[in-house]
Each structure stands twice: as structure tokens, then as C-alpha cells.
Chain A
């Protein structure tokens, strides 16, 4: 435990703690543009330099460990001046068009410039004159706004192990791009959007589709419906300076109605349906030995994309159940439409998701048109919804709470925990237990599957049978699990798992690529506990106990995995090339 002095204050930290973190501990903020708590220091921006008494050299606080006896100065006249010069240099290579930028009011560079009171640009401006890449229609790359902090590349290569993004060219011409300077849509990109969630500026942002939604809302002929994903309710508050992790479900419904939506649903109900289908599928494979094990969940479209590109050999292990918002989309345009005698051709379904990849999923295959129309017309991220609420002049913080529309908005505690890593598994286990034993699991909670550990493994006892489970989030962790299966199969052994849950984003959907900026593990934990306490407050914790689920199956779908359910609620997968020509 090294003891040192920072700005004349004593500090004791654990071995290996950086100067940046040590200073934070005693309430000193050293500015930085490139360091992100999720990532190793890239040491690129050069703003966090500090001085050590007795040494001429300046050290980067982000990547230098505090050592015993160090006497550090983080702020003085010289450091302030140097930091200002570096910020001014960065601004000389940035468009500084804050008013037209997706990150206006929410940009780390803008904040730094404001904090330093930058009032003029002393150095002549030069920009990268390269076109934007909007090819994925989910994440837009604006190279001119990039400050080359490298976070997106680190996220894509180290955290997600996808290697779609890289640096190309060099020196002042360096920029980020899909490797090989191709379009992102032709690259292995899985559209998880973690790059956009970690970008400090507007260089990578979600493909904004709020205009499409406004157009639908102002079109009187359209019957506009909306659904919100579990993870949205515990994160959107951050965009309105509300307490982190606060559950704002009722306020969101209310805001959506004010925006002009005719029907407000909840994706958590779709999750309840997914549980019914997926648990049934698991029981079929596990108990009745029909189909391959392990069964792997498929709620996450980035994960589906990753598997189709990197692990096509595991397609048979995939659950064929669609993701909750797709299930809800098709049910709205069939069941709800028939019940309320609305022509589905006039219906417009918007899903509010913590995710950029859902924008891709809504048209990824023919099965996404099971109602005869596109089941979900537009998918917006949490960030886009927050902007729409602000544009509409809605005082979100003080809104009265409302309820969602019956029945596609009446969800159980099992449905809402889908938003956190382990949640899908927990909800599915609750119902699988019931399907196998005919009884509900007494404890309700499966604590082993909760939490932020990258790979969670456990064994669950159901009627004397051991179900071996793995949960992985963040693609880097997912690979570790999948490689174990590949290895076992290659050695002619039985795979080490029966049921696997995979989420592409660290923390699951609550840490999704479309969530408000500035995510850290602390924030992920707060968001997740918001969902778990929603579960706790619910009267019903089992999807199969949801009376409206029963009503849905009895009056419309028939049996889980039955003929109609198969047609509307299930999908297929195909191997896809890593690089498109």
C-alpha cells in the first residue's frame, strides 16, 4: 500500500493504483480525454500530465502507478498552461461545430473546453477530409470529429474482440475506419454500438432516426405504437439528471403518450413470451433430447450477428426464439390488430431500445416480417428517445406516472430482469423449473447468475437433474465460453454446458450501446439493481403465471412452440461472411 503526497495531501492507495485514481480518491480531478474506466489507458491525449517534485519529466496520470514517497503536483501554472495548449491543439483538428453535433451538451471535449474557458482558437484549423460512414444504418462514423483517443478501437478489439474498427493511415492523417478502409457494413462489425457509447465526442454516434418517428407520429393515418425495453427505464433518467438507476417506467409511458403514440406497450411483456418459448425449447432439448445442447439464448442481435459471422458451426445450438421486441412487434400487428380491428398496414411500431443493433435486427431476415408487414418499423435508442422528449417540451422529471396498454404492456418481474446480464437465464430457469417439475422454484432468485463478472458458471438442480449453466457478457468473454464448447466437441467430449446466456454488451442491455453516455461499472450496477427491485416489487415473478400470457396463448397463439407460435415467434440463422465484397 504505497503512501504518497498529491498536492500536499497524503494519500494511501492499493499497489498499482494510477495517479489519476489516487487523486480522485482525495477529490482531485485530473482532466483526461482518452482514459475510460472500462479500458486500459491508451495514453493518447496527453492532457492528464502531472509533475513529480524533483523530476523534470511530466508523467501521464492515467497510466503511471503511484509509488511510495512520490510527491505529486497535479495543478499549477505550468501544467494549466500546457494542458490548455494541448486542448487548443486538439481543437485545431476538430470541426468545433458543436451546434450541429450529436454530442452537443454531452461531449467530453466540449466540457473540457468549457472548463478551461477556451475563448479563441489560436492555431489554424485543419480537418480530415474523409466522408462519413453511415453504411450500417445503426452507427455513424464521422472521422472529422474524431480526436483519436482510441477508445472505440480498444472497445472493438480488446473488449469485444470483433476487430472491425482500426486506425488507418498515420501521423496527422490517422483516422478510425473499418480495417482496410472499407465500409463498416462490409466489415465484421456486429453493430453493438459500444464504440458509440465510449466515444468522448460525436465521432461515432447512433444513426439518428427520430425524424422517421416524428413523421409517423404526425401522420394522422398511422396508428403509432411503441414499446420500451427493460433496460431503458433504469437509464433514461441520466439524460434528465435524475438519480442513477431510478426506475422511471411510469414516466416513460406518460411521456410516450404525450409524444403522440396511440398505444404504449412494454417489451418486458415480449420478454415474458420469449421466456415461454425459450424455456419450452430448453425443456424439449434437455428433457426430451430433441435438439442440440447447450441451448444458447438469442435475445441479443449483436450476438446473433457475431455468431453467424464467427461461430456459424453453433447455429444448431441457437434458440430459434425471436428477441422480445420482435415478438411484441408481431403480436401487436396480429393479435392486437385483430382484437382492436385495426388494419396492420396502418400500424407503425417503434421500439425504444438500449441498443444500436436493434436498428439492424428489425430487417435482418424474412422472419422479421411475420405479420405480413415489418413487425417493428423503427428502433430508437434510449438516447434518441431522451432527445425526442426534450424536443417535445415535456418536463420529464415532474411527469405523472401512467400505465401501459393492456395486454401487451402487462409484464412480470421475470420479463423486466431481461435487461441485466443473467436476467434472461434467470427468467427462463424460473419457467423451465416449472415446466419440468410442475412447481414454482421456492427461492425465486438465482443469485449465482447475477452480477458483473465476465463469465458466470453455475449448476442448477432441477428435479434431480443438474443443469450446467454459463452466462457471458462482452464478446471477449463470450468467446472464452464458446471455445470451451468447440474444444470439448473437437475432443469428442460432451460440451461442458447445457444452457448459455450471451449478451454482447458488458453488463447486458443495461450497458447497451444505445444507453446514455458515461457508463461505468458503478452505473451498470445501479441500473441493474433498478431492474431487480422492479422484479422484487412485482406481484408475479414467473412469466408462466402472467394471466395475460395465459390469455394470449389460450385465445391466440395456442401452445408454446406450437404451430402458430413457431410461425410468428421463431426465426432462423444463416452463416454470414466476415467481409462482404
Chain B
């Protein structure tokens, strides 16, 4: 392959753009594949061959509507398109026969939603368009234009200035201004500097970074090249967790293709700038998402955080200045340099610019990735885009993963930005959002996240190691109704101390789920402690099952399944549960067809 220069890449782009015929696009990110997208893709390929169709079958990533996968976009002329949802191989037959061959759109299966209009898909937009395994596809959609611009026309200071104007802040959790990070690294005199893409996404329920890596790997590479140019680094690493095999293989393919085109390697686009990229796999430890632990891991050491300062931008990988940016942060870079920092800064709110991708999960109707401008309210996200919860009432939302907190629905008019969420005792984090309804118990939620932190604690500092473990013991005690008010005080004492004395960000924020649920839902804790009652009916040990007389049809199903003979009565008199004998196994509750057994 001939290496590209400025002239050649423009010619290539132009040529590719001219030849965009009709296409069928199948979403083959992890979410699509899990829903059966590979079978759908295979069927299209088989039918194309069988019917000798003049249409391109293309892979693409996920633009966020994970709940409707497998999604298939069909365009006969390369411009107007129709998207089908929940496509099966059988439906593929219909689409090919009726739509592609006969031009009749299969209206019943078309994906229609107005939630998309409420979003602003800046970085996810290409995920649903581009074939992540084709560099040509990326180039034809304007890819590598930002690298071209920066490398050929700008100097390093101009890049930093542009980034400063954009107002971009880190999307990995801390929200540190990206330009400052780059500027620190740029300002250090060193014979070697590094760029690291932090793809060690680990928050439960969060998968924004995976989707971006799977769906549009070249955008991240482009971001890293620009970062390398700005700070004077000639080498970079993708740090991706090994649990993301698809992301890893697509990034590797993308790196290889970029090397082939001369977009990575020596003398990129004839500008004299060199930049090389490699992948390093994370073994799945959550703490390795923390930048100093991540660096230790790349160096082949135990993934332990180390005290900062020195910050990695001054002394990082192998003690050299190192910029570590999160995947989503880097995905924003090509957009900023393609469209200009000024353009970018007009999106979002005052101190939080641009958009943010959230992984909206939990009890929400439309779960998936959403991308909204900063400043969108929580309510718009949960109700407007997520569609609320089905068959219940929204109670709260958990943001920011294990380091974040729970925000009750009373605060849903809060605009989402770094500062506002922090004020509420949570954080933006990497963008996990878990919607909870009234059946979710806040003690249980806190326990879940604390268990996660205990399992993922690295073990280095005593507050992070012992503090989280002890907090979990108290949460378990509370959820079993065995705690007293002194235990609650001790729990709060530990939370306070851990927030202030843990070594790394992970440890310092580990108590947040406890602190925030205590802040907004203290009553629930008190109910567990003083009344041995779980108001949400979630904590198994405290569940009390009762038979509601007027609903009971006296069928006797419950008495048959009770393993401890806690239910007495007969078909005439009706039935009763002896609370002393009941072991809260929930079998009667499951078996009752008439909603006559109440749990609470």
C-alpha cells in the first residue's frame, strides 16, 4: 500500500465518496451480536449472492439503541434510508424480497422513535454509520481530516489553544480540562513522551467506551495522533480490558490499516511527524482504570495506584510525561479539530462543553446509549429519552458508577454537568446511569456498590482495603435487620474517614453510594434498623409475606409449595402465613396467580 500524503488522502476521499451505492448496514457491536446480528449479516450475504444483488452489505457499530438490536439500515440509493429493528434471519428474507428487490418498505418492522430527536449524536453518529473494520469507509465520511488539518496547517501551541477554546473536559470521571493536561505534558522537556488511551471501562452497567472502540476505532486513533502531535509524543498505547475482545480486534485492525496508509508510523502524511500505537490488555482489575495504576500495569507491574503528584503528565509511563485520556474524550478530538473549538464550545452548558454519552440502564424502558448536550436535565434523559420505567414509578437514578451516588427523582430537573452532579453528592463519572424504581432498596443498592468496591479494591491502602470491607459488613448487617443505630454511626465514621484518607480516586469515592443514599434515603436505613423492615421489599431477610384476603381465591397453590409448613388453612377458611415459621423463600409469592400475596 502506498503511504498517503495530503494530496493522496484527499483524492482517495473524493473517489470513495463518489462510489457510495445502495447499502445494507447491520449493527455488529457486542449488543447487536448478542441479539443475533451475525446470523442476520450472514443471511444478507447469502441472499445477496443468491439473488445477485447490486448492493453493499456493510457492518457498522452501535449508535446507542441497544434495546432494539439487531438493527439494520437499508438504503437503495445511498442517501435515504430505512432502519429495521429486532431483525431476525426470517425478516431478512422479507426485507430482501419485498424491500430491496421490489421496493416495498416493510412498515411493520421499521424502527420509529422520537427519542432520537431529543438527543444530539456527535460522537455516536458515526458509530452507526461507519464500518469499523474499513478505513476507507471512515475516510470517505471525512475521517482523518482533522489529523490532516492539524499536522499540515497547525503548530503545537495552536492545537492546545484550539482545545482550550473548545472547553473539552475529561470524560473519564474527573472532568479535568483536557487542554491543561496536554499543556502540562507539552511543557515538560523530555526525550520521550507517551499518549495513553484509557479503555479500561469498568463501572457496572457502563459500556460507552466499548461501543466507541467497537464502532469507530479510527476516531480514537485520530484523537491520539493529534494528542501526540500537540504534546510531542511519538508513541501511544491503547489500554483495553481483555473482556472487550471485539473492541481489541477492531482497534488492532484499525491500527494495522492506519499503518498501511501511513497514517501511523514514520513521517505521517509527509509532515515529518512520527507516531506509533500499540495495544496493551488489562486483566480486568477495576483499579487499573485509575491512571497511576494503569501506568503500573502497562509497565508490567502490579496494578497499584501511586500517590500524585507527580502527575502522569509530568512523570508517567516509565517516568516520562504521559497524557492519559479516556476513550470518549479522545473521540471528541477529531470533531473539535474538524469543526473548530469555537463550534464545539457552543454545545453544552457554561462550564461543561460538548455532549456526553450515557449508558442508560436499570428499570428504564429504552435502555441503551444516549448522547445529549451537557446541561440536559436528568428528567429529560430518564423520561424523554429513556421512556421512564414500565409498570412502576421512578424513584432515583444512580450516576457515576461505584464512585457516584444516587439522586432522587425530586432533583430530576437538575441539568447534567460536572459541578451540578457533584453538588448533589454524585458525579458524572464515565457516564453510567442506572434508573431505579420503588422496588429498589437503597440499602441494597449501597450494598451492591460496596460489594463491587470490596471485590475490586486493589489492597494497597488501608482505608481502601479495610474501610470498604468493614462498610460492607455494616451494610449487610443493616439489610438483615440486625444492626443498631451505633452501627449506622460507625458506618458513617468509616465512610467519612475513607473519603479523606484513601490513596486513589477509587478509594476516596467508594463511600459515595453509602453517603448519598444516607443523605436522601436515611428513612430507609432507619426502617431496616428500627423496624426490621425493608420499605422496598427488596431485602430478602426482611421480606414479610402476607396473604391479602380479598384477593385470595383460596386455590391452595401457596400451601403446596411452602417448604417449611408456614402456611396453614384450607380451601374454605382461606390461608395464613405464620411469620415465625416463614423463611422468606418467596415461593408462595411466585406461585400465586392472583397477586394475593403481598411482599413488604
Q: How far is the CA of A355 from the CA of B494 in the complex (A)?
A: 41
- Mask of B468-494 contacts with A, CB within 8 angstroms, 1/0: 111001000000000000000010011
In A159-204, which residues have CB < 8 Å from any B CB? 166-167, 169-174
Distance in angstroms from A551 CB to nearest chain B CB is 57
- The count of residues in chain A whose C-beta lies closer than 8 Å to any C-beta of chain B is 36
In B255-310, which residues have CB < 8 Å from any A CB? 285, 302, 304, 306-307, 309
- Mask of A78-101 contacts with B, CB within 8 angstroms, 1/0: 000010011001101100000000
Q: How far is the CA of A46 from the CA of B508 in the complex (A)?
A: 11
Chain A residues with CB under 8 A of B306: 43
Given A49-B501, A90-B462: A171 in contact with B454 (beta carbons within 8 A) = yes
Q: Which of the segments A122-130, A343-351, A506-514 contacts the partner chain? A: A122-130
Across the interface, B462 reaches (CB within 8 A) one of A65, A123, A147, namely A147
B461 at the interface (CB under 8 A from A): yes
In B295-333, which residues have CB < 8 Å from any A CB? 302, 304, 306-307, 309
A58 at the interface (CB under 8 A from B): yes
B110 at the interface (CB under 8 A from A): no
Across the interface, B467 reaches (CB within 8 A) one of A41, A89, A170, A174, namely A89
- Mask of A123-143 contacts with B, CB within 8 angstroms, 1/0: 110100000000000000000
**Chain A residue at minimal CB-CB distance from B493:** A85
Contact (Cβ within 8 A) A171 B497:
no
Across the interface, B285 reaches (CB within 8 A) one of A122, A124, A170, A173, namely A170
B68 at the interface (CB under 8 A from A): no
A455 at the interface (CB under 8 A from B): no
B503 at the interface (CB under 8 A from A): yes
B459 at the interface (CB under 8 A from A): yes
A44 at the interface (CB under 8 A from B): yes
**Chain A residue at minimal CB-CB distance from B454:** A171
Chain A residues with CB under 8 A of B473: 124
Chain B residues with CB under 8 A of A150: 460
Across the interface, B463 reaches (CB within 8 A) one of A57, A86, A171, namely A86
Contact (Cβ within 8 A) B460 A86:
no
Q: How far is the CA of A122 from the CA of B466 in the complex (A)?
A: 13
Q: How far is the CA of A43 from the CA of B458 in the complex (A)?
A: 14
B456 at the interface (CB under 8 A from A): yes
Contact (Cβ within 8 A) B457 A171:
yes
Given A45-B461, A89-B494: A172 in contact with B501 (beta carbons within 8 A) = no
Q: How far is the CA of A123 from the CA of B502 in the complex (A)?
A: 18
Majority DSSP secondary structure for residues of B touching A: helix
Contact (Cβ within 8 A) B470 A170:
no
**Chain A residue at minimal CB-CB distance from B508:** A57
Q: How far is the CA of A171 from the CA of B165 in the complex (A)?
A: 42
Contact (Cβ within 8 A) A148 B454:
no
Contact (Cβ within 8 A) B307 A46:
no
In A95-119, which residues have CB < 8 Å from any B CB? none
Residue of A41, A122, A170 with most chain B CB atoms under a 10 A cut-off: A170
Chain A residues with CB under 8 A of B462: 44-46, 86, 89-90, 93, 147-148
Contact (Cβ within 8 A) B494 A148:
no
Contact (Cβ within 8 A) A172 B469:
yes
Contact (Cβ within 8 A) A169 B466:
no
Chain B residues with CB under 8 A of A44: 460-462, 503
- The count of residues in chain B whose C-beta lies closer than 8 Å to any C-beta of chain A is 32
Q: How far is the CA of A43 from the CA of B306 in the complex (A)?
A: 7
Contact (Cβ within 8 A) A172 B465:
yes
- Mask of B492-523 contacts with A, CB within 8 angstroms, 1/0: 01101100111100000000000000000000
Q: How far is the CA of A306 from the CA of B456 in the complex (A)?
A: 36
Distance in angstroms from B305 CB to nearest chain A CB is 9
Across the interface, A171 reaches (CB within 8 A) one of B456, B490, B496, namely B456
B455 at the interface (CB under 8 A from A): yes
Chain B residues with CB under 8 A of A430: none
Q: How far is the CA of A117 from the CA of B48 in the complex (A)?
A: 81
**Chain A residue at minimal CB-CB distance from B306:** A43
Distance in angstroms from B261 CB to nearest chain A CB is 42
Contact (Cβ within 8 A) A49 B500:
yes
Contact (Cβ within 8 A) A171 B465:
yes
Chain B residues with CB under 8 A of A43: 306-307, 461, 503
Distance in angstroms from B49 CB to nearest chain A CB is 51
**Chain B residue at minimal CB-CB distance from A166:** B302
Contact (Cβ within 8 A) A174 B502:
no
Contact (Cβ within 8 A) A172 B466:
yes
Contact (Cβ within 8 A) A172 B457:
yes
Q: How far is the CA of A568 from the CA of B64 in the complex (A)?
A: 81
Contact (Cβ within 8 A) A92 B461:
no
Contact (Cβ within 8 A) A89 B456:
no
Chain B residues with CB under 8 A of A93: 462, 465-466, 469
Residue of A44, A46, A60, A166 with most chain B CB atoms under a 10 A cut-off: A46
**Chain A residue at minimal CB-CB distance from B456:** A171
Contact (Cβ within 8 A) B469 A46:
no
Chain B residues with CB under 8 A of A64: 307, 309
Contact (Cβ within 8 A) B307 A123:
no
Q: How far is the CA of A85 from the CA of B502 in the complex (A)?
A: 12
Q: How far is the CA of A126 from the CA of B306 in the complex (A)?
A: 26
Q: How far is the CA of A169 from the CA of B455 in the complex (A)?
A: 11
20 other A-B residue contacts (CB within 8 Å) besides A82-B501, A167-B459: A43-B306, A44-B461, A44-B462, A63-B307, A64-B307, A82-B497, A82-B500, A86-B467, A86-B501, A89-B463, A89-B497, A93-B466, A123-B470, A123-B494, A148-B465, A170-B458, A171-B456, A171-B459, A172-B459, A172-B469
9 smallest A-B Cβ distances: which pairs?
Answer: A174-B459, A46-B501, A85-B497, A171-B457, A43-B307, A63-B307, A172-B469, A89-B466, A46-B463
Q: List 19 A-B contacts (CB under 8 A).
A: A43-B306, A44-B503, A45-B462, A46-B463, A58-B500, A60-B307, A63-B307, A64-B307, A85-B496, A85-B497, A86-B497, A122-B490, A123-B470, A126-B469, A166-B302, A170-B458, A172-B469, A174-B458, A174-B465
